[in-house]
Amino acid sequence: MLLDTPSLYFRAFYGVPDSVTAPDGMPVNAVRGLIDMIATLVRVHSPTRMAATMDADWRPAFRVAAIPTYKAHRVAQGDRSARVAQGDEEEVPDTLVPQIPVIEQVLDAVGIARLEAPGFEADDVIGTLTHREDGPVDIVTGDRDLFQLVDDARPVRVLYTARGIRNLQIVDEAFVTGKYGIPGRAYADFATLRGDPSDGLPGVAGVGEKTAASLITRFGSLEALLAALDAGVTEGFPAGSRTRLSAARDYLSVAPAVVEVSSDVPLPAADLALPGKPRDPEALVRLADRYGLDSPLNRLLDALPG
C-alpha cells in the first residue's frame, strides 16, 4: 500500500475542524486525521507492506522547464505561509505548516517507511515503487493523475479518496474505461490532451474530454496519434481536431514528460514491512503527550498486525 501522504494530510486538514488542538493550543487536525486514515486503511485492507510517500519537491524543475505554467498558480505571494521547494514557495495554510513535521515524526516513530527524493514529487516516488513491485499494489490518493498506474494484470489499483477514506472508490482499468471512455491504461495520454487546470496544464485548446477520449480510443496512444498527425493522416480525426492538434504540436512534444509520473526515481533503501509494534515507542509517547494524540495513536497501534 502506497500512501500519497500530501494528498491525505491536505484532505485531513480540511476534513477535521481546526478546533482539534494540542494541549498548548496548536491545531493538530491534519495530524489526527491522517493517523485515523492510516488506521482505517490498515484495519480494512490489511496491507503487509506500506510506504508513506512525500513531496521533496512539489514543483520539480524538469516539469517547470517543459511547461512553465505547471502549478504556477499555487506559488505563494507576499508573506503567505509556505514551504520552500525548488526556489518557489507553495501556498499552504498557516495552521497546516507546523503540522507537517509532526506528521513526519509520527510516521518515523511508528515505523511506517517515509520516502521522498530530491527533485521529485510524491507521485514520482509512487510510480517508482509501483514499477519495482512484482505483486499487487494499492495506491491511496485523491489525485487523478495516478490513475495512469492502474494495471489489472498485476494488479495495481488506486483507492481514490474523493468520497472519503471510509467510502473509497476502487479504480482499476474498468473504472477508467467506464468513466472516461478510454482504454484502461491510457489515462496519461488522455490527460495530456484534455489538460488539467488544477495543475496548470493547458491541454490542447478546443479539445475537451469527449474529443480527447475519441482520439485516444481511435489511435490507441498519444504516440500513435502524433505519428498519424505528422504523417499527414486525416482519417479518424474528429471535425476540427486535426487543426487544433497541429497548432498544439509544440505543447504535445513536451507535455508527456510533465504528465507521466516517473518510474526510475533514485530512492534510499527502506524496509516497507508494516510494523507490528512501534519502532520508537518512547518517541511515540512523547509525541502523544505533547500533541494530545493518545486516542488516534492507540487506534493505529491496535490496527497494526502485531
* Count of residues making up the chain: 306
Distance CA 152, CA 206 (A): 32
Mean pLDDT of 219-237: 94
Q: Report the pLDDT value the prediction gives residue 90, as an integer from 0 to 100.
A: 76
What pLDDT, on the 0 to 100 scale, is given for residue 82? 38
The residue among 70, 20, 14 whose CA lies nearest residue 293 is 20
Check residue 88 and give its pLDDT: 65
| pLDDT over 90 (residue 36) | yes
| Residues 118-159: tens digit of each pLDDT | 999 999 999 999 999 999 999 999 999 999 999 999 999 999
pLDDT, tens digit, 9 for 90 and up, residues 246-302: 999 999 999 999 999 999 999 999 999 999 999 999 999 999 999 999 999 999 999
d(CA 112, CA 106): 9
Question: Tens digit of pLDDT for each residue in 72-92?
Answer: 988 875 443 333 334 566 789
Average pLDDT over residues 169-191: 97
Residue-level pLDDT at 80: 37
DSSP sequence for the chain: -EEEHHHHHHHHHHHS-TT-B-TTS-B-HHHHHHHHHHHHHHHHH--SB-EEE--S-SS-HHHHHH-TTTTGGGB--TT--EEEETTEEEE--TTTTTHHHHHHHHHHHHT-EEE--TT--HHHHHHHHHHH--S-EEEEES-GGGGGG-BTTTTEEEEE-TT-TTS-EEE-HHHHHHHHSS-TT-HHHHHHHH-BGGGTB---TT--HHHHHHHHHHHSSHHHHHHHHHTT--TTPPTTHHHHHHHTHHHHHHHHHHHSPPS---------BPPSS-S-HHHHHHHHHHHT-HHHHHHHHHHS--
Query: Residues 51-80: what's their mean pLDDT?
Result: 87
Kindly report the pTM of this predicted structure: 0.94
Average pLDDT score over residue span 214-240: 94
Task: Please give the share of the chain, as a percent, with pLDDT higher than 70.
Answer: 95
Parallel/antiparallel/unpaired status of strands 156-160 and 137-141 = parallel
